[in-house]
């Protein structure tokens, strides 16, 4: 015991950093994933996943193609069934709750590949994001969303399918944000998108967390983008979380190499 204590590294973070970390640790998690397992047929994909997400914080989930990142988000949304384990949003256990009721409880989802409606106008795509709200709020696209995404106002009567990939990604994020999520799950929002729009998307994600207190789980393979936004990180390999911690540790973990294909 005494030897172990002597080998502990000297604290390197400042007192204020410690205070901030302690404060974050003291808040109860908003989304808590415990021993989550999932199978596609006979293939065991998610293996005893444990993860806790807190209000106003951005957690980046990193990992190579095919390790189960998107599957995790689909299970969280209730689009794919879990085999065992527990997902809690606040005090409530989600269990077998269907996706649309998870949205009403405060889960938002921006799927990989965006999945906007190509034949609907931008405005009608946005109205879909309001579907779960009371009728009074759900009949018109509120002006504030165009303040967040000015490009969508200019494009409001265009067809979704006529937008660039980056604009479609912004549309998909706006649609999810309109439902006022407490937790937003984003699946590779930078995939195939030009740098100027990646920056804008980064600004929106940061603002959602910092100003609105939204808890964000960001799946990413673009390391620099993830590192620029993360408060916390987790790494998935073959359906397991193999490493996690505060973003200050990311640089020391050689994660960039881990993501290289």
Ligand X SMILES: Nc1ncnc2c1ncn2[C@@H]1O[C@H](COP(=O)(O)OP(=O)(O)O)[C@@H](O)[C@H]1O
- Give the nearer residue to Mg ion in terms of CB position, either 187 or 232: 187
Residue 222 beta carbon to Mg ion: minimum distance, rounded to whole angstroms: 13
Q: To the nearest 10°, the Cα dihedral for 202, 207, 213, 218? A: -10
The answer to whether 192 contacts ligand X (rule: CB under 6 A) is: no
Q: Map the footprint of Mg ion across residues 111-140, applying CB under 5 A.
A: 112
The answer to whether 54 contacts ligand X (rule: CB under 6 A) is: no
The answer to whether 67 contacts ligand X (rule: CB under 6 A) is: yes
CA–CA separation, 52 and 258 (whole Å): 22
Binding mask 16-45 for ligand X (x = CB under 6 A): ------------------------x----x
User: Which does residue 125 bind out of Mg ion, ligand X, none, counting CB within 5 to 8 angstroms by kind?
Assistant: none
Q: Judged by CB under 6 A, which stretch of 61-69, 85-93, 144-152, 197-205 contacts ligand X? A: 61-69
Count the Cβ atoms, other than its own, within 10 Å of residue 189: 25
- Give the nearer residue to Mg ion in terms of CB position, either 54 or 74: 74
CA–CA separation, 233 and 249 (whole Å): 9
CA–CA separation, 66 and 230 (whole Å): 22
CA–CA separation, 260 and 246 (whole Å): 21
The answer to whether 70 contacts Mg ion (rule: CB under 5 A) is: yes
- Give the nearer residue to ligand X in terms of CB position, either 65 or 157: 65
User: Which does residue 40 bind out of ligand X, Mg ion, none, counting CB within 5 to 8 angstroms by kind?
Assistant: ligand X
User: Which does residue 67 bind out of Mg ion, ligand X, none, counting CB within 5 to 8 angstroms by kind?
Assistant: ligand X
Residue 83 beta carbon to ligand X: minimum distance, rounded to whole angstroms: 14
Q: Which of 51, 55, 70, 114 binds ligand X (CB under 6 A)?
A: 70
Q: Which residues contact 134 (CB under 8 A, 6 or more apart)?
A: none
Q: Judged by CB under 6 A, which stretch of 13-21, 65-73, 150-158, 201-209 contacts ligand X? A: 65-73
Site residues (CB under 5 A) for Mg ion?
69-70, 112
Site residues (CB under 6 A) for ligand X?
40, 45, 63, 65-71
């Amino acid at each position: 015991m005494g030897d172990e204590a002597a080998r502990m590294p000297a604290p390197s973070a400042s007192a204020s950093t410690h205070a901030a970390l302690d404060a974050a640790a003291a808040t109860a998690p908003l989304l808590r994933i415990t021993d989550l397992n999932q199978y596609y047929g006979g293939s065991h994909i998610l293996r005893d996943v444990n993860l806790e997400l807190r209000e106003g914080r951005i957690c980046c989930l990193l990992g190579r193609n095919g390790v189960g990142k998107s599957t995790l988000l689909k299970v969280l949304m209730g689009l794919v069934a879990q085999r065992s384990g527990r997902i809690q949003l606040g005090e409530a256990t989600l269990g077998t709750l269907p996706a649309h009721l998870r949205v009403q409880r405060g889960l938002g989802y921006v799927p990989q590949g965006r999945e906007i409606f190509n034949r609907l106008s931008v405005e009608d795509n946005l109205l879909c994001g309001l579907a779960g709200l009371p009728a009074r709020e759900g009949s018109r696209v509120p002006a504030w969303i165009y303040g967040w995404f000015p490009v969508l106002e200019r494009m409001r009567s265009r067809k979704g399918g006529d937008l660039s990939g980056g604009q479609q990604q912004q549309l998909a994020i706006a649609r999810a944000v309109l439902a006022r999520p407490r937790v937003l799950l984003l699946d590779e929002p930078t995939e195939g998108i030009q740098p100027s729009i990646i920056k804008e998307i980064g600004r929106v994600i940061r603002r959602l967390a910092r100003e609105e207190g939204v808890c964000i789980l960001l799946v990413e393979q673009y390391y620099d983008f993830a590192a620029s936004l993360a408060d916390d990180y987790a790494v998935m390999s073959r359906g397991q979380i193999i490493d996690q911690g505060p973003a200050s540790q990311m640089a020391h973990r050689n994660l960039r190499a881990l993501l290289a294909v």
